[in-house]
Amino acid sequence: MKLVKQSPIKVFKLELIQLLAAIVFTAFILTLSTFYADDVDQQMLSVTSQQGWLNAEIDRLIDDEALLNDMGTRFERLKEKGFYGREDRLAWTEVLKQVSERLKLPNFKYSIEPQQNISNIGSGFQSNLGLSVSVMKIEAGLLHEADFSTIVQQLSDFAPGIFRVEECKITKEGVISLSRIKRNFGIDCTLAWYTVTPPTQSGVNK
């Protein structure tokens, strides 16, 4: 059977609808997060605020069909946020390396588990959103308690993608020293990174 190729406008609209649905579900997940330090709360609220901007931008584009002809730049901005498209683990690790070197963090370690598709997302959401999650674990010694907030802020500002802090344990060492580089605090944290995979060409042509 001969496949009928859809126009670029219809393809963009399909991608935007998929992205909007995934954003709504991800924003729902973010609102359920419980963070373990006031500074972390503040940094992650900025991420949620960015999601609000994404929701408004998508709503405005889909509600007005005429705007779809002029959506190229806006759609590219959504891709540049890193939430839509393939995850960029290399960029994540580069940000972590840079911030650990700048803060001179002792015993800095991280790992990223294989990406998992989120298929069981509850009622009210389609199961084929293309929403995936990757779990990142960070262990490090901190010179200052605020160093963890700096790590979160750097990831939020420079690493592509949307993440939330799932769990974070901060421990305090016996004697705190500010005169020399030593471990004053320890962290053991888990971050969840969310991305949306664009629909396949076969799905577009159906």
Report the CATH number that the domain containing residue 105 is assigned in CATH.
Answer: 3.30.70.60
Q: Is residue 100, in this structure, part of any structural domain at all? A: yes
Instruction: Write down how long the chain is.
Output: 206
For residues 19-47, give the mean pLDDT.
Answer: 60
Question: Is residue 40 classed as helix, strand or coil in its secondary structure?
Answer: helix
Report the greatest alpha carbon distance in the chain: 74
Q: Which element (helix H / strand E) includes 140?
A: strand 131-142
Does residue 94 share a domain with residue 60? no
Does residue 94 share a domain with residue 77? no
Does residue 136 share a domain with residue 71? no
Does residue 184 share a domain with residue 99? yes
Is residue 179 over pLDDT 50?
A: no
Hey, which of 39-48, 99-108, 121-130, 177-186 has the most confident mean pLDDT? 99-108
More reliable by pLDDT, 64 or 107 = 107
For residues 1-30, give the mean pLDDT.
Answer: 63
Query: Given pLDDT bands bounded at 50, 70 and 90, which one contains residue 48?
Result: low
Q: What is the pLDDT of residues 118-162, one digit of tens each?
A: 876 555 545 566 788 999 999 998 888 788 889 999 998 888 888
Q: Which residue has the tokens 């293309």?
A: 130
Question: Is residue 32 classed as helix, strand or coil in its secondary structure?
Answer: coil
Query: Given pLDDT bands bounded at 50, 70 and 90, which one contains residue 178?
Result: very low
Q: Is residue 2, in this structure, part of any structural domain at all? A: no
Q: Is residue 3, in this structure, part of any structural domain at all? A: no
Q: What is the pTM of this model?
A: 0.62
Q: Is residue 171, in this structure, part of any structural domain at all? A: yes
Q: Is residue 117, in this structure, part of any structural domain at all? A: yes
**In which domain, by residue range, is 44 found?**
11-81
* Residue 177: CB atoms within 10 Å: 11
Contacts 24+ apart (CB under 8 A), 43-47: 43/149, 43/152, 43/153, 43/156, 44/152, 44/156, 44/164, 44/165, 46/156, 47/156, 47/162, 47/163, 47/164
Q: CA-to-CA distance for 52 and 119, rounded, in angstroms? A: 23
Does residue 94 share a domain with residue 72? no
Does residue 96 share a domain with residue 61? no
Q: Is residue 181, in this structure, part of any structural domain at all? A: yes
Report how many domains make up the chain. 2
Lowest mean pLDDT among 3-12, 94-103, 149-158, 164-173: 3-12
Residue 42 CA: distances (Å) to CA of 45, 118, 150, 152, 204? 5, 27, 11, 10, 40
Domain final residue, candidates 65, 81, 97: 81
Does residue 141 share a domain with residue 175? yes
* Residue 126: CB atoms within 10 Å: 13
Does residue 66 share a domain with residue 116? no
Specify the amino acid at residue 193. W
More reliable by pLDDT, 132 or 178 = 132
Report the pLDDT value the prediction gives residue 198, as an integer from 0 to 100.
72
Q: CA-to-CA distance for 187 and 206, rounded, in angstroms? A: 48
Report the pLDDT value the prediction gives residue 43, as an integer from 0 to 100.
55
Does residue 47 share a domain with residue 101? no
More reliable by pLDDT, 162 or 52 = 162
Q: Is residue 152, in this structure, part of any structural domain at all? A: yes
